[in-house]
C-alpha cells in the first residue's frame, strides 16, 4: 500500500479578485502617458490645450463607463460591472479635477478675475464647472460607510446626479467644438441609450412591484 501524501486543500481565490486592481492600473495609465508626453514635448505645439482636451475627454469616458455598469447588469445579467462602478466614477472625478486644475493653474495662470468672469459669463465654461461641482458630493459619499450612513434609497437618489453630471459634460464638450460635433454627439447618444435602459428597467421593476402588491 502506497504511503498517502497529505494533499493540501485548495482554498479558492475570489474569482474576481483581479478585476478591481486591473481597472485601477489601466485607468491610471492614460494619466501617466499624458504626464510623460507633457514632460517630453510629446503633446505637440500647444501642450496645455492638448492636455486639457485629453483629460476632459478622459473624465467623460470614465463617467459614461461608470454609468454603463448598471445597464450592463440589466441587459446581460452581468454582476462584475457593479464591482468596478465606484472605481470608474472616482476616476472620472479625478480626471475632471486634473482637467480643471490644468485650466486653473497652467492655462489661466490663476488669474482669478479672468477665471471668475469665464465661469460666470461663458455658458461653455459654466456648464463644465457645474458638472464638476455635482461630482463633489458623489465622490464624497462613494464609500460603503457613507452609503450606510445615508441609507441605500437616499444614496441611490443622490447618485442619480451622475447622469446629470455626465450630461453636462457632454453639453460642455458640445459647446466647445467649433463645427465638427460628431464626437460629442457619439458620447451624447451613448449616454441617452444608457439612460433609456435604466428608465426601461425602472418601469419594469415598478410594474412588478405593483403586480406583487395587487396579488398580495
Partner 1 sequence: MPRRDDLPPEPKSGAITPPERYANRRAFLKQAGLFAGVGAAWGGGLIALSGRGAADPPPAPAPIPSGEAGDAWQRIARPGDYDTDEARTSFEDVTTYNNYYELGTTKSAPAENAHTLKPRPWTVKIGGEVAKSRTVDVDELIRRFGLEERVYRMRCVEAWSMVIPWVGFPLRALVAWAQPTSRAKFVMMKTLLDPEQLPGQRRPVLDWPYTEGLRIDEATNPLTLMAVGLYGAPLLGQNGAPLRLVVPWKYGFKGVKSITQIWFTESMPRTTWRVANAREYGFYANVNPEVSHPRWSQATERRIGSVGRIPTEKFNGYGEWVADMYRGMDLTRYY
Positions touching partner 1 (CB under 8 A) are 6-13, 17-19, 21-23, 25-30, 33-34, 37, 41-46, 48-50, 53-55, 57-58, 61, 106-109, 111, 114, 117-118, 122-125, 175-176, 178-180, 182
DSSP for 131-171, written as a single string: HHHHHHHHHHT-SHHHHHHH-HHHHHHHHTHHHHHHHHHHH
Is 108 or 141 the residue whose CB approaches partner 1 more closely?
Answer: 108
Is 43 or 135 the residue whose CB approaches partner 1 more closely?
Answer: 43
* Angle, CA of 115, 61 and 88, to the nearest 5°: 100
Query: Is residue 124 a contact partner of residue 175, using CB atoms and an 8 Å limit?
Result: yes
Is 97 or 161 the residue whose CB approaches partner 1 more closely?
Answer: 97
* Residue whose grid cell is 461641482: 133
- Cell numbers for 69: 455598469
CB of 73 to partner 1, least distance (A): 18
Q: Is 170 left (phi over 0), alpha (psi -120 to 50) or beta?
A: alpha
CB of 4 to partner 1, least distance (A): 14
CB of 164 to partner 1, least distance (A): 22
Is 24 or 211 the residue whose CB approaches partner 1 more closely?
Answer: 24
Amino acid at each position: 500500500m502506497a504511503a498517502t501524501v497529505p494533499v493540501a486543500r485548495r482554498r479558492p481565490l475570489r474569482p474576481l479578485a483581479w478585476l478591481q486592481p486591473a481597472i485601477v492600473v489601466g485607468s491610471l495609465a492614460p494619466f501617466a502617458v499624458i504626464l510623460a508626453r507633457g514632460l517630453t514635448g510629446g503633446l505637440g505645439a500647444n501642450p496645455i490645450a492638448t492636455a486639457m482636451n485629453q483629460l476632459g475627454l478622459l473624465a467623460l469616458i470614465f463617467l459614461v463607463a461608470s454609468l454603463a455598469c448598471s445597464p450592463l447588469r440589466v441587459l446581460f445579467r452581468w454582476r462584475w460591472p457593479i464591482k468596478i462602478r465606484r472605481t470608474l466614477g472616482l476616476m472620472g472625478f479625478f480626471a475632471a479635477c486634473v482637467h480643471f486644475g490644468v485650466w486653473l493653474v497652467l492655462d489661466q495662470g490663476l488669474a482669478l478675475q479672468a477665471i471668475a468672469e469665464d465661469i460666470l459669463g461663458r455658458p461653455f465654461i459654466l456648464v463644465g464647472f457645474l458638472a464638476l461641482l455635482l461630482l463633489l458630493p458623489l465622490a464624497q459619499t462613494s464609500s460603503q460607510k457613507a452609503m450606510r450612513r445615508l441609507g441605500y434609497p437616499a444614496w441611490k437618489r443622490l447618485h442619480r446626479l451622475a447622469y446629470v453630471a455626465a450630461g453636462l459634460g457632454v453639453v460642455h464638450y458640445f459647446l466647445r467644438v467649433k463645427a465638427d460635433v460628431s464626437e460629442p454627439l457619439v458620447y451624447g447618444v451613448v449616454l441617452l441609450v444608457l439612460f433609456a435602459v435604466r428608465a426601461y428597467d425602472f418601469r419594469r421593476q415598478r410594474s412588478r412591484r405593483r403586480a406583487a402588491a395587487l396579488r398580495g
